[in-house]
Amino acid sequence: MSALLRRLGAWAITLWAVHLATFFLLRAARGGPFDEARSLPPEVEAQLRADFHLDEPLIQQYLRALGGALRGDFGPSLRYRDVRVTEILADALPVSIGLGLGALMIALLLGIPAGLAAASSRRGLGDSLVRAGSTLLLSVPNFVIAGIVIGWFSFGLGWFPPAGGVGWRAFVLPCLCLGLPTAAQLARLARSAALEVLDGEGPRAAQARGLSPSRVRSRHILKPALAPLLAFLGPTSAALLTGSLVIEQVFALPGLGAHFVQAALNRDYTLAVGITVTYTALLGLLTLLADWAMSRVDPRVEALSG
């Protein structure tokens, strides 16, 4: 229990440090939220700066932002002046989570079986195919994968819209593009983990004890091989949920990734701080979950107890 509290404490300090760093780094960048190709009349610009407290001393602005963040309110967006940052987060987060989870499902459903199959046919045709395929998917950037997938499924077969679209159909291609490289990574990892277990004593001993082949596979190969996969899945899930910028842009999905970069480019201080803090919180939560799952699979790991 005390370990959990320690973790949560460290998490809170990380969130605060990220908030502080984002706030001051953004202010250090040149240009402001109201700079546009057409200059605002000076008195209008002064009024806008006052409306959003940008005329106050920086430290006062920081304390105001920190106080707001503690209450879960990051203030109004400086670009979408009539929308609050929390409203934008509430709209965009489900899109990114849906996209990330879809990609994770694809990665798990394709990657692990492919890796295990490759391990069981070591140096055979299946193994070579999985290894070649995963190397290819890992070396091609995801916007190239996106181009190929759009050309094939949207313009060739006409099954899915090339971008935007409505309902679940809008998510199939982006989830595929985001999930495939992770599936490749998982396949390689699952393959080497399974090979390591197969080479060990466990499965043979189990077989000698007269256990059925399916029971040997599930208890003595799959379960021990899962531990390194879980360690990998924690940060990977976080990366999938937060790192979908390019895919969101290519498929015009209104997720957090696109906001993340645009907010910094637009000098939308409040939105950029809000998103960075949200991402950090998400990352911490997912790592915690992965550690907990690890402790369930591998008794040597006592992440959150004792």
Partner 1 sequence: MTLRVLAFLLAVLPLACREAPRGLVVANGDDVSLLHPQRTASISDARVLQAMHAGLTRLDPQTLSPEPGLARRFEASEGGRRWRFELRPGLRWSDGLALQVEDVERSWRQLADPSQGSPYANWLEGATIRTTPADPRDSTDGGSLEIEFPHPQPSFAEMCAFPALAPIAGHAPPEQVGSGPFRFVSRRVRDRIVVERNPFYWDAAQVAIPAIDFLTVDSQVTALNLFLAGEVAYAPNAPELAVPALLAERGEAFQPQPQFASTFLRFQVTQPPFDRLEHRRAFVAAIDPDALAASLGRVRQPAWHLVPPESPHWEPPPVPRWRSAPPALPQPAREQRFELLYNSSELNRSVAEVLQAQWLANLDLEVALINQEWKSFLAAQRGLDYQISRSSWIGDYLDPLAFLEIFHSESGNNRTGWSDAVYDGLIEAARGESEPEARRLLLREAERRLLDQAIIAPLYHEVGLELIDPRLEGLHRNLRGYIDWGRVRWSPEEPPS
Residue number with CB closer to partner 1 (82 or 123): 82
Among 79, 131, 188, 220, binds partner 1 (CB under 8 A): 79
Q: Does 105 interact with partner 1 (rule: CB under 8 A)?
A: yes
Dihedral sign for Cα atoms in the order 255, 261, 266, 272: positive
Gap between the Cα atoms of 13 and 305, Å rounded = 21
Residue number with CB closer to partner 1 (228 or 254): 254
Nearest distance in Å: CB 249, partner 1: 5
Nearest distance in Å: CB 295, partner 1: 14
Q: Does 295 interact with partner 1 (rule: CB under 8 A)?
A: no
Cβ–Cβ < 8 Å for 22, 276? yes
Q: Which two tokens stand for residue 18?
A: 């990220």
Residue appearing with tokens 């997938």 = 149
- How many other CB atoms are there within 10 angstroms of residue 76's CB atom? 19
**149-172 b/e (C-beta count within 10 Å ≥ 16 → b):** bbeebbeeeeebbbbebeeeebbb
Nearest distance in Å: CB 224, partner 1: 17
Among 162, 172, 239, 304, binds partner 1 (CB under 8 A): 162
Among 25, 70, 83, 205, binds partner 1 (CB under 8 A): 83
Cβ–Cβ < 8 Å for 217, 53? no
Q: Does 238 interact with partner 1 (rule: CB under 8 A)?
A: no
Residue appearing with tokens 């999905």 = 253
Residue number with CB closer to partner 1 (13 or 24): 24
Q: Does 205 interact with partner 1 (rule: CB under 8 A)?
A: no
CA 238 to chain centre: 4
Among 62, 80, 232, 292, binds partner 1 (CB under 8 A): 80
Q: Where are the alpha helices (DSSP H) in the chain?
A: 2-28, 42-51, 58-70, 85-120, 125-139, 142-149, 169-199, 202-208, 213-215, 223-242, 245-250, 256-265, 269-297
Among 72, 155, 156, 299, binds partner 1 (CB under 8 A): 155
Q: Does 99 interact with partner 1 (rule: CB under 8 A)?
A: yes
Among 53, 81, 122, 204, binds partner 1 (CB under 8 A): 81
Residue number with CB closer to partner 1 (5 or 28): 28
Cβ–Cβ < 8 Å for 228, 271? no
Binding residues with partner 1: total (CB under 8 A): 60
Among 55-63, 132-140, 156-164, 207-215, the segment contacting partner 1 (CB under 8 A)? 156-164
Cβ–Cβ < 8 Å for 156, 243? no
Q: Does 101 interact with partner 1 (rule: CB under 8 A)?
A: yes
Cβ–Cβ < 8 Å for 134, 209? no
In DSSP terms, which residues pair with 59 in a beta bridge? Answer: none
Nearest distance in Å: CB 30, partner 1: 4
- x/- site string to partner 1, residues 19 to 58, per CB under 8 A? ----------xxxx--xxxxxxxxxx--xx--x-------
List of residues contacting partner 1 (CB under 8 A): 29-32, 35-44, 47-48, 51, 79-83, 87-88, 91-92, 94-95, 97-99, 101-102, 104-105, 108, 150, 154-155, 161-168, 170-171, 249-252, 254, 258-259, 262, 265-267
